[in-house]
């Protein structure tokens, strides 16, 4: 039987006080930018019965740096790192892909935005991302668990600082604590 497509994604988020504070931690740990800061728009899709989200799975259409990506994420495995199967592919036309998903019965249930900058350290397989979101700034570390633990420690973080929730879950928790009805995690429009 051939292997299933996709990879296993392992990641954590780390809250930082500001983008400048995150950049300083990354710089001190030897990370350098892979690309300039760029706006990212994400739309999460689900069935009308919310079958995907209720089972811990995700179907997302992302538009970032002139590309559109369709991503499926499987159920997360328990542990200190967020670990789950990921299948991702570029699509030629994000609007057409959204129309196709909706024609198949999926609904756009949540939109979230962020500014993202990617970082790496020479010769290492892991990546770090600085995400500036409407609910705060986060460092996201993605790679092997040992690499994540080492990089986090070098930036002054311990396992107690690890966040394995999605941005949607973080947003809903923030809304619950503020007594606000959740909508979409997007930046205010001028």
Which H/E stretch holds residue 53? helix 51-54
Contact 119, 126 (CB under 8 A): no
pLDDT for res 3 = 46
Q: What is the mean pLDDT of each run of 10 residues along the chain (190 residues)?
A: 72 98 98 96 98 96 96 95 97 98 98 98 94 98 97 97 96 97 94
How far is CA 11 from its chain centroid? 9
Please give the domain boundaries of the chain with CATH numbers for all domains: 7-178 (2.40.320.10)
Q: Coil, helix or strand for 146?
A: helix
Contact 104, 97 (CB under 8 A): no
| Termini Cα distance of the chain | 54
Contact 115, 38 (CB under 8 A): yes
Q: Which residues pair with 115 in a beta bridge?
A: 39, 132
pLDDT for res 2 = 44
């Amino acid at each position: 039987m051939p292997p299933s497509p996709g990879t296993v994604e392992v990641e954590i988020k780390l809250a930082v006080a500001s983008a400048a504070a995150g950049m300083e931690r990354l710089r001190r740990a030897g990370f350098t930018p892979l690309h300039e800061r760029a706006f990212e728009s994400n739309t999460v899709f689900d069935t009308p019965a919310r079958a995907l989200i209720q089972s811990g799975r995700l179907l997302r259409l992302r538009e970032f740096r002139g590309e559109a990506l369709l991503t499926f994420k499987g159920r997360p495995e328990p542990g200190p790192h967020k670990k789950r199967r990921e299948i991702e592919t570029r699509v030629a036309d994000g609007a057409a892909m959204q129309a196709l998903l909706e024609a198949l019965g999926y609904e756009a249930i949540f939109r979230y935005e962020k500014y993202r900058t990617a970082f790496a350290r020479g010769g290492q397989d892991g990546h770090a991302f600085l995400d500036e979101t409407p609910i705060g700034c986060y460092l996201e570390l993605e790679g092997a668990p040992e690499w994540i633990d080492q990089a986090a420690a070098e930036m002054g973080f311990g396992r107690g600082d690890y966040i394995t929730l999605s941005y949607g879950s973080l947003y809903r928790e923030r809304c619950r604590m503020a007594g606000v009805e959740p909508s979409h995690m997007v930046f205010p429009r001028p």
